[in-house]
């Protein structure tokens, strides 16, 4: 199945004067709304609708599940021929067990037979590591899954996830567990969290554990591995959180060379800078803002090559404050930007540091006519101005959601543009001093707006932008676009969940091998919004996908960052009572 394809020709913008600009003299400014209309009428620019509904090759649930890694060892028999010795594996069995009382009887029978299942159970297969099983039996006839291991190899069993036919998680073990020779059996319950149950079979007595489920079992994924083996792709290796009695919402995230995770977090009316290890444990934190009164905007963090920390936050009545912290969290300089109107903002991907160590912030400044694009660059050493530019992108509100810097200190921003009264996505490149150089518009004419949420570059110089496309029948569909190093012939892929509800990419992280990791949310019938994490290869084909349902309300992955062989995802989940709580999830990438 093809999940990406090259799209049409590129659109170049005009160098007309801006509506309002504070950029240095001599720059190539952004075209005004008047020039948009006049240029289009003259035929010099055609709306770039190459991501219109139907123009992309959309896919639903295109996924490659994490596969078990089967190995063999070649020995020699007495006649010199090769003998294949199968490696140790855990075995999987399925059954229908009416209730807990019947499960108690099965437990006693299993113990009496040294862990060997009787006629109630049907053997399904075996695996060495995380694997998706697909029973042939009627899903309604299965409600129990048993894992069995011999003494030749202990196994860590993190979770069993019941999946639908598109790989979406619909249930975890949540009730009693029945087991023998298993340490911490209840650790297998719930979603994967890196805290597993561990089999410890002795001699000829096999270890086993089983649970009952309420949903029919069509497919399921066992998340597990030997303690000495590397986790499979997409396995959760650690989780983290924050302890407060308030709503919590993460913003942006960055990881330093030592694997120290930096992220910003809203806790009630404050913004905090938190630092975590890759084991999910909180190292330290500091409050960076308080008294937040605005309900719009967000906050983010970026690092320079020496570990200096820079944050940008929407504060008070919508002002934007940029701060510097040193690696020991002592306070450096701070700058506040304010248009004189309310609702100025910066979003979760709105700050970046360039090769020279200078800080670029992108968001929106308000004006009597509404929100307008805003971008500023300040010296990393002292916060002094390099440029501060605001301009309009159409008759409606427009602003940047994300910003990134690239080789030569080039600046890339993405957000929305009001093009002929249709809100569409926008990607733009600026020179190091803020001069407009190149842009592309993506989207369609459906009622819902098209949005660029995040932008990134890989080590080869390919440019990626991601966000969502509004559709008439499927809500928001996530979109990921790749431009080559020449900025021509982009490739793109979209995703629409089965519920035909909103699905968005909120952040991306580019790897050195050309892979891209996208995070956001997917709407699932009966569950609301679920955290959504997907790895794409260099050709934008899905490699693996993971989702997370907190079990109560909406859950979103907000930001992503890579360190070594791990992908770190920051998001939130809704808990009983309606509070949103921060969750950090570390995946094997």
Q: Which residues pair with 255 in a beta bridge?
A: 261
Tell me the pTM: 0.86
Q: Is the pLDDT of residue 473 over 80?
A: yes
Give the DSSP H or E segment for 385.
strand 385-391
* Distance, CA of 358 to CA of 383 (rounded, Å): 9
Q: What is the mean pLDDT of residues 299-312?
A: 98
Predicted confidence (pLDDT) at residue 146 exceeds the cutoff of 50:
yes
Q: For the CA atoms of 100, 105, 107, 112, what is the dihedral angle to 10 degrees? A: 180
Checking if the pLDDT of 6 tops 80, the result is: no
The pLDDT value recorded for residue 58 is 33
Q: How far is CA 446 from CA 193, 432, 474, 478, in A?
A: 39, 35, 10, 15
At 62 the pLDDT is: 35
Contact between residue 450 and residue 467 where contact means Cβ atoms under 8 Å apart: yes
Is the pLDDT score of 137 beyond 70?
yes
Q: What is the mean pLDDT of the chain?
A: 86
Confidence of residue 445 (pLDDT cuts 50, 70, 90): confident
Q: Write down the pLDDT at residue 506.
A: 98
Give the mean model confidence (pLDDT) for residues 166-184. 94
Q: Supply the pLDDT for residue 13.
A: 31
How many Cα atoms sit within 13 Å of 83 on the Cβ side?
Answer: 7
pLDDT of res. 60: 34
* Chain Cα centroid distance, residue 509: 8
Helix (H, G, I), strand (E, B) or coil at 59: strand
Share of residues in the chain with pLDDT > 90 (%): 77
Give me the pLDDT at residue 86, please. 61
How far apart are the C-alpha atoms of 380 and 356, rounded to whole Å?
8
pLDDT at 574: 97
Which fold would CATH assign to domain 5-63+237-588?
A: Neuraminidase (2.120.10)
Domain spans of the chain?
Answer: 5-63+237-588, 73-226
Average pLDDT over residues 225-252: 97
Q: What per-residue confidence (pLDDT) applies to 76?
A: 35
The average pLDDT across 507-525 equals: 96
Which is higher by pLDDT, 396 or 515? Answer: 515
pLDDT given for residue 464 in this prediction: 97
Helix (H) or strand (E) holding 239: strand 236-240
**pLDDT tens digits along 283-296:** 999 999 999 988 89
Region 98-102 average pLDDT: 97
Please report, for residues 143, 170, 173, 254, the alpha-carbon distance to residue 215 in angstroms, rounded to integers and kept in the order given: 7, 8, 11, 39
Q: What pLDDT was estimated at residue 51?
A: 34
Express as a percent the part of the chain with pLDDT over 70.
85
* Model pLDDT, residue 396: 73
CB 226 within 8 A of CB 200: no
Average pLDDT over residues 94-102: 98
Lowest-confidence range among 30-39, 122-131, 319-328, 561-570?
30-39
Whether residue 36 is predicted with pLDDT greater than 80 in this model: the reply is: no
């Amino acid at each position: 199945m093809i999940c990406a394809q090259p799209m049409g020709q590129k659109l170049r913008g005009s160098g007309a004067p801006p509506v309002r600009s504070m950029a240095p003299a001599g720059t190539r400014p952004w075209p005004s709304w008047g020039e948009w209309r006049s240029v289009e009428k003259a035929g010099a620019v055609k709306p770039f609708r190459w991501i219109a509904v139907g123009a992309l090759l959309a896919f639903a649930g295109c996924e490659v599940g994490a596969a078990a890694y089967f190995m063999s060892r070649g020995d020699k028999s007495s006649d010199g021929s090769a003998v294949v010795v199968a490696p140790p594996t855990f075995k999987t069995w399925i059954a229908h067990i009416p209730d807990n009382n019947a499960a108690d009887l099965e437990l006693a029978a299993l113990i009496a037979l040294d862990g060997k299942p009787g006629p109630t159970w049907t053997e399904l297969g075996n695996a060495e590591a995380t694997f998706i099983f697909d029973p042939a039996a009627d899903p309604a006839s299965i409600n129990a899954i048993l894992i069995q291991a011999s003494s030749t190899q202990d196994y860590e069993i993190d979770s069993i996830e019941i999946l639908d036919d598109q790989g979406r998680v619909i249930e975890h073990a949540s009730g009693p567990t029945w087991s023998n020779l298993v340490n911490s059996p209840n650790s297998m319950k719930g979603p994967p969290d890196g805290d597993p149950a561990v089999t410890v079979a002795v001699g000829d007595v096999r270890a086993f554990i089983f649970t009952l489920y309420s949903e029919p079992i069509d497919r399921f994924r066992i998340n597990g591995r030997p303690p000495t083996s590397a986790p499979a792709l997409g396995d959760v290796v650690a989780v983290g959180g924050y302890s407060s009695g308030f709503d919590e919402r993460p913003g942006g995230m960055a990881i330093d060379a030592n694997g120290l995770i930096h992220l910003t977090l809203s806790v009630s009316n404050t913004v905090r800078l938190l630092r975590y290890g890759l084991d999910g444990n909180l190292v330290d934190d500091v409050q960076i803002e308080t008294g937040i009164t605005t309900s719009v905007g967000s906050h983010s963090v970026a690092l320079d090559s020496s570990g200096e920390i820079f944050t940008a936050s929407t504060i008070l009545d919508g002002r934007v404050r940029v701060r510097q912290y040193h690696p020991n969290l002592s306070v450096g300089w701070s700058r506040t930007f304010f248009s004189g109107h309310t609702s100025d903002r910066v979003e979760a991907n709105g700050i970046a540091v360039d090769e020279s160590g200078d800080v670029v912030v992108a968001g929106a400044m308000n004006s009597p006519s509404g929100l307008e694009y805003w971008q500023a660059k300040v010296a990393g050493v002292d916060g002094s101005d390099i440029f501060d530019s605001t301009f309009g992108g159409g008759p409606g509100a427009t602003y940047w959601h994300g910003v990134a810097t690239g080789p030569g200190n080039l600046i890339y921003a993405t957000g929305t543009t009001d093009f002929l009264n249709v809100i569409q996505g926008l990607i733009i490149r600026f020179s190091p001093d803020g001069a407009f150089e190149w842009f592309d518009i993506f989207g369609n004419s459906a009622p819902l707006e098209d949005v660029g949420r995040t932008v990134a570059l890989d080590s080869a110089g390919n440019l990626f932008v991601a966000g969502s496309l509004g559709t008439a029948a499927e809500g928001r569909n996530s979109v990921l676009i790749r431009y080559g190093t020449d900025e021509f012939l982009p490739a793109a892929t979209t995703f629409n969940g089965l519920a035909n509800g909103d699905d968005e990419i909120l952040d991306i992280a580019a790897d050195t091998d050309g892979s891209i990791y996208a995070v956001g949310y997917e709407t699932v019938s009966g569950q609301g919004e679920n955290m959504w994490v997907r790895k794409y290869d260099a050709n934008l084909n899905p490699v693996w996908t993971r989702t997370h349902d907190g079990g109560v309300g909406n859950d979103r992955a907000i930001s992503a960052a890579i360190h070594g062989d791990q992908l770190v995802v920051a998001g939130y989940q809704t808990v009983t009572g309606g509070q949103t709580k921060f969750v950090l999830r570390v995946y094997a990438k």
